[in-house]
Structure 1
Amino acid sequence: MLKVLFSQRMLAFHALVLVIVPSFVWLGFWQLDRWEQRSASVRLQQGNLAAAPVPVAELTGVGENVRPADRWRTVEATGTWDTERELLLRNRDGSGGVGFHVLTPLVTEEGPAVLVNRGWVERGETALDQPEVPPAPEGTVEVAGRIHYSETEENTGLSNRDGLPEGQIMMVDVDMIAGGLPYPVYGGYVELTDQEPVPDPAPEPVALHELDSGMSLSYAVQWWVFTLVAVGGWVFLVRRELSDAREAAAGAEAAGDGGGHAERPEDGEPESTGRPGNTAGETV
């Protein structure tokens, strides 16, 4: 039976199972880890959105970045808009499709400015045209919004590039933007949710991207089911090969017993001389 289990065909099958079973198990745990990470992000977002608003200076400072653990917290600030140094973020989605986000510095009463995403506006006939941007209110305003850390190529997949129209950028790289401003700038930026006074018209508020844990848990279970199927298939094939080998061996043994011996006459029965017409006892 060992010869059957270690035939060339079965060895290839054993090797295949030894490769795919650990791989399927690893893929299942990989998807489980992704699900746990996403679930942790969901809990963080929900908890931070539900937290009480705090002054922006409590969660960031000049030259600092917002901690990932503080993302989506609601912050408040009071100051004046610096619309002369307003920037447009390209390729941002809104209700009307792809357009721009309006990024305006708010110079706070404490001195430093905070970059505020005031919302989405529709683009012009082409992406190179300057869109119509509703003006920010003049004078002192009170704002509230969700705080985010600075955007980089690593955390967005975007990259700033040369040749863009003046005042247009690809992402909120706070350090780069702060280098062109005449005042200190808080780290991170804020997505505006409320302001007083309320302007009319105003850019469309940036929609909250609510996180979910995705399908990773289902994928993990699927990989582990595939593992059980692979092991079950291996057991089934091994048992079938052994059963076929036993049947073949039994058939060969039966054939050997039935055809390997000549038939002998019964006791008392005379043997034939092998010559036609002669009987036992006759002499020639």
Structure 2
Amino acid sequence: MHRYRFLLTRQWVILTLVAIALIPTMIRLGFWQQSRYEMRTARNQLVSDALHAKRVPVEKLTSPGHAVTRMEKYRTVTATGTFDTAREVVVRRRVNADEEVGFHVLTPLVLTDGHVLLVNRGWIPANGSQTAFPKIPAPPRGRTTVTGRLMVDETTAASGIKDLRGLPARQIMLINSEDEARRLGARVLGGYIEQTAPAPKGGSPEQISDPGSEDAPLNYAYMIQWWLFAAGVPVGWWFLVRREIRDRVEATPEQQATETEPATA
């Protein structure tokens, strides 16, 4: 066993301790990626189920003061009413598919029973100004039936967007039915919808695209990668040990030859 005595040197003790510490760390990282993979897979399935579910009248899923649930989010709903453009607002600092900064257009839809549904009609460019109220393409006049994806109220905690005060007139940071109910003095249905039909004339406002699926397969690949790394650590450690033994064996005859070589006069 004397050939392994070098493992007690300071250098090899540190190397061995590091290897031992890396194995459980990498295993835990693999389980963390596994949990993210499962979470994203479940989220993607939930979104897909909601998007492909049968459309229903919005009143079947939400009502004034209702908090839209995860199971209700992205469900396709319909609503009939009249757009109230006089109390329309824009939502600041929103980007389109091309990452251009602009506004979302939020228009109250007054339903036949007097309740109000918040409709995000889509994105318009800021045209170089974030303070002036933009020119907004008009929605259909009169009684209109719209279709859209039901969304949850936006909050700072969920979105990371600060709800700034003192904004220019008719501009908001977050779409929140409770805040809009107070502003409008009306009974506003909980949540809001992202309009998908009818399509706007001239393509503006630019409709918001379907929610994309999160990249769950990437997390699966990372999970396998971390576990392979964990398995590779002891293999790599043993390879280094064998190489050290080989180097020491090869060096021994040279060292003996040097020690026995007679000194020259």
State whether TM-score is above 0.5: yes
Q: 1:162 aligns with which of 152, 165, 168?
A: 165
Mapped to 2, the partners of 1:225 and 1:199 lie a distance apart of 52
Q: Which moved more, 1:121-130 or 1:147-156?
A: 121-130
- 2:231 — aligned with what? 228
Partner-residue secondary structure (3-state), 2:30:
helix
Question: What's the CA shift string for 1:240-281, capped at 9, x where partnerless?
Answer: 44556677899999xxxx9xxxxxxxxxxxxxxxxxxxxxxx
TM-score in terms of structure 1 length: 0.80
Higher helix share: 2
Mapped to 2, the partners of 1:229 and 1:81 lie a distance apart of 63
Residue 246 to residue 169, structure 1, CA distance change in 2 (3 Å): same
Mapped to 1, the partners of 2:233 and 2:113 lie a distance apart of 65
> Shift in Å at residue 125 of structure 1?
3.1
Q: 1:127 aligns with which of 122, 125, 130?
A: 130
Question: What's the CA shift string for 1:36-63, capped at 9, x where partnerless?
Answer: 1111111111111111101112212211
Question: What's the CA shift string for 1:177-218, capped at 9, x where partnerless?
Answer: 2221221111111000113xx763552211223113342111
Q: 2:17 aligns with which of 3, 15, 23?
A: 15
The alignment covers a number of residue pairs equal to: 256
- 1:213 — aligned with what? 215
CA RMSD across the alignment: 2.7
Mapped to 1, the partners of 2:146 and 2:211 lie a distance apart of 20
- 1:108 — aligned with what? 111
Look at both structures and tell me which one has the larger radius of gyration over its CA atoms: 1
> Shift in Å at residue 147 of structure 1?
0.5
Tell whether 2:68 aligns with 1:66: yes
Uncovered stretches (5+) of structure 1, i.e. residues with no partner? 259-284
- The one-letter amino acid paired with 2:231 is L
1:124–1:130 Cα contact (<8 Å) kept: no
Tell whether 2:192 aligns with 1:180: no
Partner-residue secondary structure (3-state), 1:147:
strand
- The one-letter amino acid paired with 1:218 is A
Q: 2:38 aligns with which of 36, 50, 55?
A: 36
Mapped to 1, the partners of 2:96 and 2:5 lie a distance apart of 68
1:152–1:173 Cα contact (<8 Å) kept: yes
Mapping of 1:230-245 within 5 angstroms?
A: 230-241=233-244
> Shift in Å at residue 142 of structure 1?
0.7
2:155–2:161 Cα contact (<8 Å) kept: yes
- The one-letter amino acid paired with 2:201 is D
Tell whether 2:60 aligns with 1:88: no
Mapped to 2, the partners of 1:16 and 1:174 lie a distance apart of 54
2:55–2:76 Cα contact (<8 Å) kept: yes
> Shift in Å at residue 232 of structure 1?
0.9
2:133–2:169 Cα contact (<8 Å) kept: no
Mapped to 1, the partners of 2:114 and 2:57 lie a distance apart of 14
1:178–1:184 Cα contact (<8 Å) kept: yes
Q: 1:79 aligns with which of 78, 81, 92?
A: 81
TM-score in terms of structure 2 length: 0.86
